[in-house]
Amino acid sequence: MDDVAELVDRIWRMDAAGMLGALSRRLGDFDRAEEALSDAVTEALKRWPDEGVPDSPTGWLVTTGWRKALDRLRRDAVGREKMARTVAGPLPEPGADDRLAMIFACCHPDLATPARIALTLYAASGLSTVEIAAAFLVPLPTMAQRLARAKRQLRERGIRFEAPQPHEYADRLPAVLAVIYLVFNEGYLSSGRSVQRRELAREGVELACQLAALLPREPEVAGLAALLELHHARAAARFDSWGRIVLLDQQDRLLWDEAAIERAALRLRAAVRQGRPGPYQVRAGIAALHALASSYEATNWADVRALYDRLYVLDPSPVVLLNRAVATRFAVGPTPALDEVDALGDRLAGYHLWHAARAELLATLDRPAEALPAAERALELATNPSERELMSRRVGELRRRL
């Protein structure tokens, strides 16, 4: 029984989106699909220990879920009306279109961003409500309410569970990619002390890679997958044994996953060859320059800076210019880098990393008395526990220098 339960759990995590997508497309209702699949899982736990695991476990679960859904529909008048509009016949194996439909439905731009993230993780990656709540550090009832609200919005807005047509990608894909990027960052930035946060980052990578496999002709999808793979390849070196952040220049590169870096680089090259540049591809290019350099000192900072120039054309954000200034420090020098950072003060004065970058440059220029208040302000503004710990250390170092 324990082996069967583990198998069912593994199937759910591997293909939740496909199974829910297949049922939701046929039923037109996420809640009914989820309920039907839950009934099918219960049935599997009863029958598989005695009857054996079927040749196609996912197909068995979807077909059984479909039958359970029909039974429920027959029992109420509204359901009988719905049955008349429901396609008859057996369901095919859940496939790529089902997974794609579910991901796009969960990330629909009509849904609020927190709802998109929660629903995508729940339906498309197989994480439980408990796991998602733990990963986002919110109470279980709060996350349960967020999921319930997201499902209700799907139903009320009549969002279709169908794979979008190619001409719809331009409108829908940015929301999907943004959600997956947020999922990854939420876990990656704070994974030092938390197994759940590490799992969240891994789910972001897997979602991006799954989407890249489903949409091989969309270079920005491949760009996002490469970007997340490159960052995740450094995960083992990003935190020390106390769970503290280790910055790039101090990381042990022997701990990096070289095979993953090479796979991501190949993916990125293939995306770039399609000749449709986008911000995720450029970000992945920057990450690749860092990952493929033999050492921090050997990084081609001039190329990094040039890529930030290209990124700013595609994404004219002051944060892009702040990151470019960091590259300027190594490509040109700390004084012009500080000038670039100071020029952003009117737009980024409330951003903790602007103050942190300024403190670092002032310290490098041997101006600790000016660096200290900047570092203290960065600590005041930071909310991420891992970043706060790092900035607290920086404040202590600067105070010792005075």
Domains belonging to the chain, first-starting first, are: 4-92 (1.10.1740), 97-163+171-337 (1.25.40)
- Ranking 30-34, 63-67, 132-136, 233-237 by mean pLDDT, the lowest is 132-136
Position 352 scores a pLDDT of 94
Q: Residue written as tokens 């590259």?
A: 327
Q: Give which of 230, 376, 351, 368 is closest to 289, Cα–Cα.
A: 230
Q: Give which of 29, 86, 21 is closest to 58, Cα–Cα.
A: 21
Position 196 scores a pLDDT of 55
More confident residue, 371 or 104: 371
Token pair of 66, please?
Answer: 């479909």
Q: Give which of 28, 18, 41, 23 is closest to 79, Cα–Cα.
A: 28
Using pLDDT thresholds of 50, 70 and 90, give the confidence band for residue 10: confident
Using pLDDT thresholds of 50, 70 and 90, give the confidence band for residue 90: low
Name the β-bridge partners of 245: 239
Position 63 scores a pLDDT of 85
Mean pLDDT of the chain: 86
Q: pLDDT by residue (tens digit) across 276-329?
A: 999 999 999 999 999 999 999 899 999 999 999 999 999 999 999 999 999 999
**Could you tell me what percentage of the chain is helix, strand and coil, using 3-state DSSP and rounding each to the nearest 5?**
75, 0, 25
Q: Percentage of residues in the chain with pLDDT exceeding 70?
A: 92
Q: pLDDT by residue (tens digit) across 344-380?
A: 999 999 999 999 999 999 999 999 999 999 999 999 9
Q: Which DSSP letter does residue 382 get?
A: -
* Euclidean distance between CA atoms 118 and 367, whole angstroms: 45
pTM as predicted: 0.79
Rg of the Cα atoms in the chain: 24
Position 135 scores a pLDDT of 66
Position 1 scores a pLDDT of 55
